[in-house]
Structure 1
Amino acid sequence: MPVKYVCRNCGYTLYNFDKVGQDFYGVRTPSEIRSIFGGKCPRCGKPLNAPAIEDVKIIMKKKITITIE
């Protein structure tokens, strides 16, 4: 399942994890993303805070239908 960290102010993609094996560390935590960028968004300069439960969005991809005859 892909994981994407986005600035809530300007929408800049801070980090995108697409698949297992993408890198050695795996999915980074919000605190790791904050420390990578020095606590501020590189585009707009707003402080990066931990996401609230309302900030987490789960988006379903296209539904796959398998027909067996």
Structure 2
Amino acid sequence: MPVKYRCKNCGYELYKFEKVGQDFYGVRTPSEIKSIYGGRCPKCGHPLGIPNVGEIKISLKKKIYPMTK
């Protein structure tokens, strides 16, 4: 399951981690993402913050089963 960081104002995808081995560092923390962009969304300019527990959304992928005969 990918880990995505989005701007809570405009929904711009700031970072997406899809699989192990994607890069040397692994999944980045919200504070690392904030520092990469200088504390502001590059699309809308909204200040980036650290999400609280209520703002974190977890969604599961729909599992696709192969057709059986």
- Normalised to the residue count of structure 2, the TM-score between the two structures is 0.88
Letter in 1 for 2:14: L
Q: Deviations over 1:24-64 (max 9, x none)?
A: 00000000000000000000101000001111111111135
- Deviating 4+ runs (over 2 angstroms): 63-66
1:39 correspondence with 2:35: no
Work out the CA distance in 1 between the residues paired with 2:63 and 2:17: 21
Structure 1, unaligned runs of 5 or more: none
Query: Which SS does the other structure have where 1:32 is aligned?
Result: helix
The residue aligned with 1:55 is 55
Quote the residue 2:9 is aligned against.
9
Aligned-residue CA RMSD in angstroms?
1.3
- Which structure is higher in RCO with an 8 Å CA cutoff and minimum separation 6? 2
Unpaired segments of 5 or more residues in structure 2? Answer: none
1:24 aligned partner: 24
The percent of aligned pairs where both chains have the same amino acid is 68
Bigger CA drift: 44-53 or 57-66?
Answer: 57-66
